[in-house]
Amino acid sequence: MNQHRDQSARPIEYAPYAEFADAAALAAYKAHPTYAETTARVRPMRELRLSADVVAG
């Protein structure tokens, strides 16, 4: 069970994770039609969203 809690003290249920070679690869992923479709389907089902894009230098 996930012991981390968000700032509202609710448990985090899902934590998708992906790695990309560079910022251009991340941008291509976010520009893909499947990304937009998935986001549109999931957005109404969520109460809270936390996100971080990290590009290693």
Taking the C-alpha atoms of residue 25 and residue 8, their distance in angstroms, rounded to an integer, is 32
CB atoms within 10 A of CB 1: 3
User: What is the DSSP secondary structure assignment for residue 44, as one 8-state letter?
Assistant: G
pLDDT band at 32 (very low <50, low <70, confident <90, very high): very high
pTM of the model: 0.58
Q: Which of 56, 53, 51, 49 is nearest to 8 (CA)?
A: 49
CA-based radius of gyration for the chain:
14
Q: Does residue 42 surpass a pLDDT of 60?
A: yes
User: What is the DSSP secondary structure assignment for residue 39, as one 8-state letter?
Assistant: H
